[in-house]
Amino acid sequence: MSSAAGLGPLNVVSYSPGVCNIGPAEIARRRMAGHMGLAVTMVVFAALVVVGAPHWTRLVLVLPAGGAASGYLQAWFHFCAGFGSRGVYNFGPLGTVEGVTDPGARARDRAQSMRIGLGSVAIGVVVAVVAALLPF
């Protein structure tokens, strides 16, 4: 399957420990969460600029920007961090999950979940700091 099919850079369409734990419907849900987080980030930033809030208050953007990054990273990697932490995966309809029983697979899933979480926080921090340093 190509990226034209909306699955991003990976061609994985079945469960692969630490690599892929969600199918197209879940990927679309994560992408939409990223879009929503980005919209909230932009609206909050614009509001803070318009009301003339102190620059340091822009650090609050770490939350929506980190949320947006989380959604986008999960969609990009076809991997739900929450599912990975819980030891489940889903390639079927939204709301259905199957359990991961192999301890090694669960460990790889938890490690990938941690990487996505840390990456999301790092992106959120960078966005917030850059926003706080902007001169307007």
Please check whether residue 72 is in contact with residue 32, taking contact to mean a CB–CB distance below 8 angstroms: no
Q: What is the mean pLDDT of each run of 10 residues along the chain (136 residues)?
A: 46 87 97 98 98 98 98 98 98 95 98 98 98 97
Looking at residue 61, its pLDDT comes to 98
Looking at residue 2, its pLDDT comes to 41
| Tokens read off for 34 | 């990223």
Looking at residue 3, its pLDDT comes to 42
Reported as a single tens digit per residue, the pLDDT across 40-62 is 999 999 999 999 999 999 999 99
Phi (first) and psi of residue 51, to 5 degrees: -85, -5
Entry pTM: 0.90
Task: Return the HEC string of 8-38.
Answer: CCCCCCCCECCCECECHHHHHHHHHHHHHHH
Looking at residue 4, its pLDDT comes to 43
- Picking from 34, 61, 66, 64, the residue whose alpha carbon sits closest to that of residue 134 is 61
Give residue limits of the domains in the chain.
Answer: 22-88+96-133
